[in-house]
Amino acid sequence: MENIFTDEYFMKKAYQEAELAYEKGEIPVGAVIVVNDRVIARTHNLTEMLNDVTAHAEMQAITSAANFLGGKYLKDCTLYVTLEPCQMCAGALYWSQITKIVFGARDEQRGFISMGTKLHPKTQVVQGVMANECADLMLRFFAERRK
Amino acid sequence: MENIFTDEYFMKKAYQEAELAYEKGEIPVGAVIVVNDRVIARTHNLTEMLNDVTAHAEMQAITSAANFLGGKYLKDCTLYVTLEPCQMCAGALYWSQITKIVFGARDEQRGFISMGTKLHPKTQVVQGVMANECADLMLRFFAERRK
């Protein structure tokens, strides 16, 4: 039997979170954290609503997943996030020792790859899952803002 | 008349916060954020108590100060923190566009300077204020843990 729990399957959940952010006028980034094919955190960017630069989707997801697990290390967890994490989020992921990060669109300007932020040596990274859809949502958001 | 509101004055407040962390069995790092010589946020590391890698003193201070100010940018604010910020905290400070960061002890291993994390171009950094006291508190904490 085919495994339905692919990276695309969970990235779609993250994308749905990004759409919720979009509807609220937030930069549309969404995230979920998964352990054993089970979603244990789903969050979206809330920096405007909370007036808080630390309220990125990933930061909330890390806090929420640790709360669910009852421990601060995200062992055997995978983060799915629609946009490449920034320095702050990658720095938090470093501390969490998360097992895997899957992101959609690249952020050439402010993403952790260009910025040179170090992840934990244990952490595996997969990029480009639903990259076009994730990038399109961002582009639509900023195009609408400029009107 | 001499200005009592020196960097040492406010670092002492941050140090007092670090002592509170120490008493709770948390890695002893404390922070305050100051605007116009007024402390608007005072926080200490709570990663153990909250089971949350994102609960560094600086992260809480950024959220708390933004809440006080009613806006997410920390214009004209100075962060005093007993230890050099890590990648995550420096990444958050980057987004906050904070005016000035004053830290006590260096963190050669995991501090943002060695890690190469970028701050906002507007942000001024002062280091070494009460560096010995801040470092001693950390050393005492880890020596006690090893017993």
Cβ-Cβ contacts under 8 Å for A56 (sequence gap 6 or more): A29, A45, A47, A85, A86, A88, A89
Answer yes or no: is pLDDT of B1 > 80.
Answer: no
Report CB contact under 8 Å: A53, B89: no
Residue A89 backbone dihedrals phi, psi, to 5 degrees: -70, -40
Answer yes or no: is pLDDT of A23 > 80.
Answer: yes
Rounded Cα distance between A1 and A29, Å, is 32
Confidence of residue B3 (pLDDT cuts 50, 70, 90): confident
Provide DSSP, chain A.
------HHHHHHHHHHHHHHHHHTTS---EEEEEETTEEEEEEE--TTTTT-TT--HHHHHHHHHHHHHTSS--TTEEEEEEE--BHHHHHHHHHHT-SEEEEEE--TTTBHHHHTPPPPTT-EEEE-TTHHHHHHHHHHHHHHHH-
Break chain B into its structural domains and give their ranges: 13-141
Question: What pLDDT score does A16 carry?
Answer: 98
Nearest to A54 among B70, B92, B116 (CB): B92
CA-CA distances (angstroms) from residue A137 to A3, A46, A50? 28, 16, 22
B38-44 and B77-83 strand pairing:
unpaired
What SS3 state is found at B15?
A: helix
Question: What pLDDT score does B39 carry?
Answer: 98
Mean pLDDT (whole number) for A136-142 = 97
Condensed to tens digits (0 to 9), the pLDDT of residues B27-77 reads 999 999 999 999 999 999 999 999 999 999 999 999 999 999 999 999 999
Task: Confirm whether residue A56 is marked as ligand binding.
Answer: yes
Taking the CA atoms of chain B, what radius of gyration do you get in angstroms? 14
Q: Identify the CA nearest to B100 among candidates B113, B115, B81.
A: B81
Residue of A nearest to B91 (CA): A88
CB A19 within 8 A of CB A43: no
Condensed to tens digits (0 to 9), the pLDDT of residues A75-133 reads 999 999 999 999 999 999 999 999 999 999 999 999 999 999 999 999 999 999 999 99
Report CB contact under 8 Å: A52, B71: no
* Through-space distance between the first and last CA atoms of chain A, rounded to whole angstroms: 49
Question: What pLDDT score does A2 carry?
Answer: 80
pTM of the model: 0.96
Mean pLDDT (whole number) for A139-146 = 94
DSSP-assigned letter for residue B71: S
Catalytic-role residue among A8, A58, A84, A108: A58
3.40.640.10, 3.40.140.10, 3.30.460.20, 3.40.50.720: CATH of A13-141? 3.40.140.10
Condensed to tens digits (0 to 9), the pLDDT of residues A26-54 reads 999 999 999 999 999 999 999 999 999 99
Compute the nearest-CA separation of A4 from chain B (Å). 31
Task: Confirm whether residue B56 is marked as ligand binding.
Answer: yes
Condensed to tens digits (0 to 9), the pLDDT of residues B67-122 reads 999 999 999 999 999 999 999 999 999 999 999 999 999 999 999 999 999 999 99
Nearest to B51 among A66, A91, A94 (CB): A66
Report CB contact under 8 Å: B53, A47: no
What sign does the dihedral B25-B90-A120-A79 (CA atoms) show?
positive
Rounded Cα distance between A25 and A39, Å, is 25
Report CB contact under 8 Å: A87, B54: no
